[in-house]
Structure 1
Amino acid sequence: MTFKTIAAVAALVLTSVPAHAQDGWRLVWSDEFDGDRLDETKWTYAADCGGGGNDERQCYAVDPETVSVKDGVLRLTAIKRKTRGLANPWAGPTGPMKTGDYASGKILTQGKASWLYGRVEARARVPGGQGVWPAIWMMPELSTYGGWPKSGEIDILETVNLGAPCDGCEGGRENRVFGTIHFAGDAAGTHRQVSNSTPMPVSSDGFHVYAVEWTPEAITWFVDGRRYARAEAADWKRDDQVAGPAPFDQPFHLILNLAFGGRWPEGANAKGIDEAALPATMEVDWVRVSQRP
């Protein structure tokens, strides 16, 4: 076998190995969404009308219209439908109720799986339309440093209003993917964030792999294996601290949701919401978490 042949075979083997198995990563948790229902040993449904703390308009509901698994794909769907739930789920299960005009799906691994550092990735297809806000993100399992944003937030994927008018976007239409971390800038808990975006890559089927690599030193964002942003520990240190990994030095759990409306999407692009975007569905082929030994 010639050197060229050996090199070609090696390259073929490398490209056929999943990203989570390259560079020393070892798969520690995954959901391929096989079967015909959500695996409740891995996920918990959200059911509330809290609006995510962002004045989002949906209520999260637990039914096949909003959360379903079929043909190896998870589907979270936002629809127009009167839905009732807790107005403030963070205050406990006995607070006042609220009725919203829209229903959607949200699932999370809180209480079932959380991780400190690693590569977290998902293959997903996200919907568009004014007011449509899909997200794949992480929150601390325990609020070790205090309530939001003191204990941090890692947003692996967010898009808002895909396809809506956008003066600064290629082709004049919204086409950006956002990766963000939220944290406190001082002891008082003043909100700060590091946020970056990149144009949505071209895809024949609309699916892309969204990922972060999270270490004590940095958090790095990727789309389809291409790095587009990086935040280092010095970027999220508080004014009264020396540089260090806090607050991103505690286990975080994973959240998948599809919001409709809210301060961010309603204040951007064409403004407000457009019910013509409904029903809207985020499809997730798989989610994988890998760590280095």
Structure 2
Amino acid sequence: MKLLHAFRKGRNGLTRLTPVILLGVFSCCTSSRSTISNGYMYIQKDGREKKQWKLVWEDNFDQPKLDTSKWAMVPPGGSAWDKHMSADPRCYALRDGKLFLRGIINPDTLKDPRPFITGGIYSKGKFAFQYGQVEIRAKLECARGAWPAMWMLAETDKYGKYPRNGEIDIMEHLNYDSIVYQTTHSYYTLNLKQDKNPPHYGTAAIHPLEFNTYGIKWFPDKIVFTVNGKETFTYPRVAGVDPSQWPYNQPFYLLIDQQLGGDWVGKINSSDLPVQMIVDWVKVYQ
């Protein structure tokens, strides 16, 4: 079921995201931890994998409006995950230092015929990073058909179109489950069907109605998934296999979205709506 979900996600939606064309121009300003490319891509310097990480980027959502220097609203698309995405202000709120991303019944189907609309944000073209640690603290409300997700996609088309640049799913939650899925997808796992060499996803137990911190620790040779600081699943770089197994040597951007519906999560129960993901903060370290 997980593999089928991933293939539909890639085939039907992610290729619609417009790539950002980069010239590889580096800024003159660098830190001891990373090189900043094009002013917004934080590329961790070689040899720092075992050194202590420090905070390089964050959002505490303590402003009255979404910080558009860091985020944009996810536009609607044709895949299961983004078909209900909307810029409708009723799908978003900032209050008490938290971001609310909502899935709701569409109140105006004359203006927009979709029965449901949802909120989501991404840092595409505004912030991306290569290696380091990301943590996102959030509370996930439950509903039949609810599919909140925190994930990452490549900022550039280094290896071609999706899925050749890979995907990192920090967290996906379905319905009323007491677990989350943490996954990697790539040409290797999807097209070559090598999803067990090595295993490409794991699950972790959570209390969905409580705030939890979801994250990854990303190294040149492995991605370690975490929940509340505990390591839950590791996807390693493997020697002697097709090179498409490891497209994770380039900058990725962040997506956080309250998705609804699709074959993987199942039918939406409108009586369960509205539903929301409440995001407390996002922090990235290198």
- Shorter-chain-normalised TM-score: which range? 0.7 to 0.9
Q: C-alpha deviations, 1:34-56, integer Å up to 9, x for none?
A: 021100010011232x24x23x5
TM-score (normalizing by structure 2): 0.75
Report the Cα offset of residue 82 of structure 1.
Answer: 5.8
TM-score (normalizing by structure 1): 0.73
The 5 Å alignment of 1:1-293 reads 24-48=52-76, 50-51=77-78, 53-54=79-80, 56=81, 58-81=83-106, 99-162=113-176, 174-185=177-188, 189-190=191-192, 193=195, 194-201=200-207, 206-234=210-238, 239-241=241-243, 246-266=246-266, 272-291=267-286
Whole-Å separation in 1 of the counterparts to 2:278 and 2:253: 20
Asked whether the 8 Å contact 2:92–2:102 carries over to 1, the reply is yes
Asked whether the 8 Å contact 1:121–1:288 carries over to 2, the reply is yes
Whole-Å separation in 2 of the counterparts to 1:219 and 1:131: 29
The aligned counterpart of 1:89 is: none
Q: 1:57 to 1:182 in 2, by over 3 A?
A: closer
Q: How many residues align?
A: 232
| Matched AA of 2:60 | E
The aligned counterpart of 2:8 is: none
Report the Cα offset of residue 65 of structure 1.
Answer: 0.9
3-state SS in 2 of match to 1:185: helix
| Matched AA of 2:142 | G
Whole-Å separation in 1 of the counterparts to 2:161 and 2:205: 32
Q: 1:240 to 1:222 in 2, by over 3 A?
A: closer
3-state SS in 1 of match to 2:264: helix
Q: 1:191 to 1:74 in 2, by over 3 A?
A: farther
Whole-Å separation in 1 of the counterparts to 2:57 and 2:108: 33
Whole-Å separation in 1 of the counterparts to 2:72 and 2:260: 20
Asked whether the 8 Å contact 2:75–2:82 carries over to 1, the reply is no
Report the Cα offset of residue 276 of structure 1.
Answer: 2.0
Whole-Å separation in 2 of the counterparts to 1:240 and 1:198: 29
Q: Name structure 1 gaps, 5 residues minimum.
A: 1-21, 85-96, 163-173, 267-271
Q: 1:35 to 1:197 in 2, by over 3 A?
A: same
| Matched AA of 2:186 | F
Q: Which 4+ stretches in 1 moved above 6 angstroms?
A: none
Whole-Å separation in 2 of the counterparts to 1:156 and 1:221: 7
RMSD across aligned positions (CA): 2.6
